[in-house]
Amino acid sequence: MLGEGILKGMAETAKNFFGSYVSKERLTTVEYPEERIPTVEAARVFPFLVYDGADWEAGLRCVACQICEKECPPKCIYIDKSKDKKPDYVGKQQFYPTRFDIDISVCMSCQICVEVCPFEAIKMDTEFELATDDRFGGLLYDRKQLARSNEYYHSIHPTEASEVDARLGQEKAKVEAKAKAASEAAAAKAAAPTPPAPPPGGGS
């Protein structure tokens, strides 16, 4: 009958109107910035540098291999390699970056730098409220601004971080085992009585 569709439509909108006061599914507005939708775990915005331990400079995982700088499509990473070395998480001496700048106005969040990093040093952050009124320098993040602790990494990407930690732990364990075996072999070699000359005052 003519007009039936209109009446059905009006009933539906009336249901929406009154339902929006009682049920959440009929009023899906999230009143930002007082309320926020929690971000999913795989969210990514801009990169950050991971450091282990308490001191960001000493624990920074980045060894300035510059692979991410070369792979970055819009070339927004600027790295200066250091001249000296410092020990990394397994104790090996590595270079470190004296300058590591990311221009987040250029960064397109493609995550290629994260995918190619062999040292699990650069990961994607989820923070997006980064507006600033400093047009020229405010969007160029340097090393200190980019460094975040491993605990922070755990808090934003728990599964990823645990998986990374597990892998790094395995590597460390392998290296330690190798070092232990090497030192045992060296100790065994030193303790084996091969030289004919008698020790001067009793071996030790």
Partner 1 sequence: MATSPFFTNLDQIFILLRNWLVDFLPAALRPTAGVVLEVIAIVCIFPGLFALTTVFERKGLGRIQNRLGPNRVGPYGLFQPIADGIKSLTKEDIVPFSANMVVHFLAPLSLVVAVFMEFAVLPMGRNMVLVDLDAGLLYFFSMSAATELSVFMAGWSSRNKYSLLGAMRAVAQMISYEVVLLLSSVSVVMIAGSLSLTNIVAAQDSYTGIFPHWYIFTPWGLAGFVMYAIAATAETNRSPFDLPEGESELVAGYHTEYSGFKFALFFLGEYLAMFSISGLGTTLFLGGWSAPFSFLTFIPSWIWFFSKVMLSIFVFIWMRGTLPRLRQDQLMNFAWKFCLPYTLLNLIVTALWHFMGEGWMRWVVCTAILAAVYVFMGRVEMRSEHFGPRRYRYAE
Report if residue 58 touches partner 1, rule: CB under 8 A: no
Report if residue 2 touches partner 1, rule: CB under 8 A: yes
Return the structure tokens found at 48: 């950050």
Beta carbon of residue 31, minimum distance to partner 1 (angstroms, whole number): 7
Q: What is the 3-state secondary structure (H, E, C) of 130-194?
A: CCCCCCCCCCEECHHHHEEEHHHHHHHCHHHHHHHHHHHHHHHHHHHHHHHHHHHHHHHHHHCCC
What is the residue-wise DSSP string for 18-49?
HHHHH-GGG-----TTTS-PPPPTT---SEEE
Let me know if 34 is exposed, middle or buried by CB neighbors in 10 A (0-12, 13-18, 19+).
Answer: exposed
Number of residues that bind partner 1 (CB under 8 A): 18
Report if residue 36 touches partner 1, rule: CB under 8 A: no
Indicate the residue among 2 and 192 with the shorter CB distance to partner 1: 2
Report if residue 26 touches partner 1, rule: CB under 8 A: yes
Residues numbered 5 to 24 that lie near partner 1 (CB under 8 A) are: 6, 9-10, 12-14, 16-17, 20-21
Report if residue 1 touches partner 1, rule: CB under 8 A: yes
**Site residues (vs partner 1, CB under 8 A):** 1-3, 6, 9-10, 12-14, 16-17, 20-21, 26-29, 31
